[in-house]
């Protein structure tokens, strides 16, 4: 590639990159005081049993509403919090808040909390978890932690130790976003997971591609042989729901059922929905 081309593309893209980098830097600055200023909130999205359509649990999804920037999506700020080392503090707040909220829900409803890969480094999580359970009074068996495959890239011995220690507390572990990036079936065999969450991109692909459908079937069958439960994420249509339920996927999560909602807007008894979803009557 010629110097001229590289030079001209640099001039074209540099101002935009600067703007993005500057926004990231300003968001990082704002993040430093976000906990103190109470700018975080958890929303909860239900998971339903694919056969009975009853709510089995909720996933806690972090929301940040900043004074200066307004709502910022976790897709944008979580990576910044990870890079700058702030995810540990934020993640601890999420665990405490989610356990406090869930402690007030019916006993058969679980709560799933997303973990950042950094939270599996070291051993501090093994102190944070009993504290969150103890202070909220939530039973360990009602707590589930979601980790992505990125978290498995570190020292496998340490990660396996951590996962076993967590499960010994009675907490369960889900592998999140399966089917994106570097998904590997061997992860299911190697690491002690209780649940596998099939990513939204895989769910939608399976509806249009017979090949993807075959892969999803194989994944579900392997998971069940390993006694690992399965959830499909990002289910938006009745057609998807029907196909996934027929395949034997245990749980369904997605906008078809409900969008993530603040804790005070949840209706645990709601086990009925039509093609327009729960929100149609809300």
Token pair recorded at residue 187: 């992860």
Contact yes or no for 273/251 (Cβ under 8 A): no
CB of 119 to ligand C2E, least distance (A): 7
- Closer of 110 and 200 to ligand C2E (Cβ): 200
Binding piece for ligand C2E, criterion CB under 6 A, among 74-82, 126-134, 136-144, 218-226: 74-82
Cα 2 to Cα 5, 7, 58, 106, 142, distances in angstroms: 5, 9, 54, 65, 59
Q: What are phi and psi of 58, to 5 degrees?
A: -135, 150
Q: For residues 112 and 141, what is the distance between their CA atoms, to the nearest angstrom?
A: 11
Q: For residues 70 and 73, what is the distance between their CA atoms, to the nearest angstrom?
A: 10
Q: For residues 45 and 231, what is the distance between their CA atoms, to the nearest angstrom?
A: 13
Binding piece for ligand C2E, criterion CB under 6 A, among 2-10, 18-26, 233-241, 267-275: 233-241
Q: Draw the binding track, 122-161, toward ligand C2E (x: CB under 6 A; -: no contact).
A: ------------------------x---------------
- Closer of 116 and 172 to ligand C2E (Cβ): 116
Q: What are phi and psi of 202, to 5 degrees?
A: -70, -40
**By CB under 6 A, how many residues form the interface with ligand C2E?**
23
Q: Collect all residues with Cβ–Cβ distance below 8 Å to 11 and sequence separation of at least 6.
A: none
Residue of 96, 185, 255, 277 that binds ligand C2E (CB under 6 A): 255
Asked if 116 is part of the footprint of ligand C2E (rule: CB under 6 A), the reply reads yes
Q: Which does 78 bind (CB under 5 to 8 A by kind): Mg ion, ligand C2E, none?
A: ligand C2E
Q: Draw the binding track, 197-226, toward ligand C2E (x: CB under 6 A; -: no contact).
A: ---x--------------------------
């Amino acid at each position: 590639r010629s110097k001229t081309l590289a030079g001209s593309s640099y001039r074209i893209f540099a101002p935009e990159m600067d703007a993005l980098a500057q926004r990231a830097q300003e968001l990082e600055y704002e993040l430093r005081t976000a906990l103190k200023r109470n700018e975080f909130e958890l929303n909860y999205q239900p998971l339903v049993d694919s056969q009975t359509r009853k709510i089995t649990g909720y996933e806690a999804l972090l929301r940040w509403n900043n004074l200066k920037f307004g709502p910022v999506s976790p897709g944008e700020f979580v990576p910044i919090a990870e890079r700058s080392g702030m995810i540990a503090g934020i993640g601890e707040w999420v665990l405490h808040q989610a356990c406090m909220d869930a402690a007030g829900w019916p006993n058969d409803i679980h709560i799933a909390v997303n973990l950042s890969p950094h939270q599996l480094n070291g051993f501090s999580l093994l102190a944070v978890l009993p504290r969150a359970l103890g202070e909220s009074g939530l039973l360990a068996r009602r707590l589930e932690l979601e980790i992505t495959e990125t978290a498995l890239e570190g020292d496998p011995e340490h990660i396996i130790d951590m996962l076993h220690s967590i499960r010994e507390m009675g907490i369960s572990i889900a592998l999140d976003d399966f089917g994106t990036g570097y998904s590997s079936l061997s992860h299911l065999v190697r690491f002690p997971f209780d649940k596998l969450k099939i990513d939204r991109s895989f769910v939608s692909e399976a509806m249009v591609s017979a090949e993807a459908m075959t892969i999803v079937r194989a994944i579900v069958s392997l998971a069940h042989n390993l006694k690992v439960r399965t959830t499909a994420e990002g289910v938006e249509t009745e057609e998807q729901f029907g196909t996934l339920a027929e395949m034997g996927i245990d749980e369904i999560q997605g906008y078809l059922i409900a969008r993530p909602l603040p804790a005070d807007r949840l209706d645990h008894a709601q086990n009925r929905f039509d093609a327009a979803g729960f929100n149609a009557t809300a």
